[in-house]
């Protein structure tokens, strides 16, 4: 027993010194690798920085637990290096897939200048965090505030604008939370956020959202460009054709969204008779069913999901216009 305590104390000291040396190394490698804006680098410097960043990541991955804790502290203390905050958030997510560091990752993304990064990565991480139950309201507002945003999803060979990308984030966070986020952006956001949030709130098509938009239009609070976009969407998302499919089959299809392979049902998008029939036979009492189907329609970041979302949105618009 007498030997136990000194031995334990020595072990703790060794462990502390080991963790400290790892963190010291990480800090040193951080100082070497970061402190730059990617869009300001020449091609030759990009290659050099790529090697330094690989060195930083590879070292951190060899000591995941100690590195994660150290990187957490570095993110919390960082005031100026936007790209480090973003890159470190990606690294931290790869080092620990539990929820332990999610709040730190969100903080890092909020510190990130989106002009310094590929927006697709920001979208994917934000979507993942929302899927894990984290609050991404500020991240969503940040994304829809970027002028002329272009988000390329290489897996699907599509380029999204901020409104399209915003739909994925708003859908996964839930209708009430999405509504509150958009209303706040309209009231307090920059001009780009106000425009995009108004368009997205119109697409969300909730009672509170519709009421706010009518109020903003009547009071002259929205610019003509935004009003023109809202009018254009209202026109294009209202379906006038009539289908031939009966109500019970339409309701069955709504329950099967996003798909039912056994029935060879692959969604509403592209099935004009089913779409037109839904607009014909469904009423305002069925709106919740359609809304629930629309929420389920997005299971990941894809153009197919986006098409299905907008198709169900058109059905909602048409039902409400009756």
Q: Which of 268, 189, 198 is nearest to 234 (CA)?
A: 198
Name the token pair of 67.
């590195």
My answer on whether 152 and 206 are in the same domain is yes
Question: What is the per-residue pLDDT for 20?
Answer: 60
Task: Kindly report, residue by residue over 266-300, the tens digit of the pLDDT.
Answer: 999 999 999 999 999 999 999 999 999 999 999 99
CA 98 to chain centre: 19
Question: What is the per-residue pLDDT for 10?
Answer: 41
For a pLDDT cut of 70, what percent of the chain falls above it?
A: 94
Question: What is the per-residue pLDDT for 46?
Answer: 84
What is the tally of structural domains in the chain?
A: 3
Is residue 285 a part of any domain in this protein? yes
Q: Which of 251, 244, 236, 240 is nearest to 283 (CA)?
A: 251
User: Sorting pLDDT into bands at 50, 70 and 90, what band is 155?
Assistant: confident
Checking if the pLDDT of 230 tops 80, the result is yes
For a pLDDT cut of 90, what percent of the chain falls above it?
A: 87
Give the mean pLDDT of the chain.
Answer: 93
My answer on whether 77 and 160 are in the same domain is no
My answer on whether 224 and 296 are in the same domain is no
Name the token pair of 146.
């970027």
Task: Report the sign of the C-alpha dihedral through residues 289, 290, 291, 294, in that order.
Answer: positive
Checking if the pLDDT of 252 tops 60, the result is yes
Task: Report the sign of the C-alpha dihedral through residues 159, 174, 297, 89, in that order.
Answer: positive
Other C-beta atoms lying within 10 Å of the C-beta of residue 20:
12
Question: What is the per-residue pLDDT for 39?
Answer: 85
* Residues spanned by the domain of 302: 247-321
User: Sorting pLDDT into bands at 50, 70 and 90, what band is 176?
Assistant: very high
Checking if the pLDDT of 3 tops 90, the result is no
CA 14 to chain centre: 42
* End position of a domain, from candidates 50, 82, 117: 117
Q: Which of 6, 58, 4 is nearest to 29 (CA)?
A: 58
Average pLDDT of the segment spanning 112-125: 95
pTM tops 0.85, yes or no: yes
Is residue 129 a part of any domain in this protein? no
* 305 vs 266: CA distance, rounded Å: 11
My answer on whether 112 and 167 are in the same domain is no
* End position of a domain, from candidates 236, 264, 284: 236
My answer on whether 224 and 264 are in the same domain is no
Other C-beta atoms lying within 10 Å of the C-beta of residue 116:
18
My answer on whether 157 and 181 are in the same domain is yes
Question: What is the per-residue pLDDT for 41?
Answer: 86
Annotate 109-157 with DSSP letters as a single string.
Answer: HHH--GGGS-HHHHHHHHHHHHHTT---HHHHHHHTTSTT--EEETTTT
Q: How far apart are the first and last CA of the chain?
A: 83
Q: Is 82 exposed, middle or buried (0-12, 13-18, 19+ CB in 10 A)?
A: buried
Name the token pair of 169.
């984030």
My answer on whether 232 and 258 are in the same domain is no
* End position of a domain, from candidates 212, 236, 260: 236
My answer on whether 145 and 217 are in the same domain is yes
Task: Kindly report, residue by residue over 50-104, the tens digit of the pLDDT.
Answer: 999 999 999 999 999 999 999 999 999 999 999 999 999 999 999 998 899 999 9
Question: What is the per-residue pLDDT for 45?
Answer: 86
My answer on whether 90 and 166 are in the same domain is no
The most distant pair of C-alpha atoms in the chain lies apart, rounded to whole Å, by 88
My answer on whether 142 and 224 are in the same domain is yes
């Amino acid at each position: 027993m007498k030997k136990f305590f000194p031995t334990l104390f020595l072990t703790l000291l060794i462990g502390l010194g080991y963790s400290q040396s790892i963190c010291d190394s990480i800090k040193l490698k951080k100082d070497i690798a970061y402190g730059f804006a990617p869009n300001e680098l020449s091609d030759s410097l990009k290659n050099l920085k790529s090697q330094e960043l690989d060195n930083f990541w590879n070292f951190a991955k060899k000591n995941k637990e100690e590195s994660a804790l150290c990187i957490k502290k570095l993110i919390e203390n960082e005031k100026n290096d936007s790209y480090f905050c973003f890159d470190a958030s990606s690294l931290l997510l790869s080092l620990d897939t539990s929820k332990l560091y999610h709040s730190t990752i969100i903080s890092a993304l909020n510190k990130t200048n989106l002009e310094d990064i590929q927006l697709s990565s920001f979208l994917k991480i934000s979507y993942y965090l929302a899927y894990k139950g984290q609050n991404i309201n500020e991240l969503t507002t940040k994304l829809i505030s970027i002028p002329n945003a272009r988000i390329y999803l290489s897996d699907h060979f599509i380029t999204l604008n901020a409104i399209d990308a915003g739909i994925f984030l708003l859908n996964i966070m839930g209708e009430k939370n999405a509504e509150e986020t958009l209303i706040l952006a309209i009231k307090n956001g920059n001009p780009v956020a106000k425009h995009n949030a108004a368009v997205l709130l119109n697409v969300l098509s909730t009672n509170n959202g519709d009421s706010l938009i009518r109020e903003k239009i009547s009071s002259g609070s929205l610019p003509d460009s935004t009003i023109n976009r809202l009018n254009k969407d209202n026109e294009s998302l209202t379906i006038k054709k009539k289908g031939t499919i009966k109500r019970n089959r339409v309701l069955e299809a709504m329950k099967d969204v996003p798909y039912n392979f056994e029935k060879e049902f692959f969604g509403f998008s592209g099935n004009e008779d089913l779409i037109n029939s839904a607009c014909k036979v469904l009423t305002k009492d069925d709106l919740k069913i359609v809304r629930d189907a629309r929420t389920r329609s997005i299971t990941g970041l894809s153009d197919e999901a986006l098409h299905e979302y907008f198709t169900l949105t058109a059905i909602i618009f048409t039902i409400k216009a009756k």
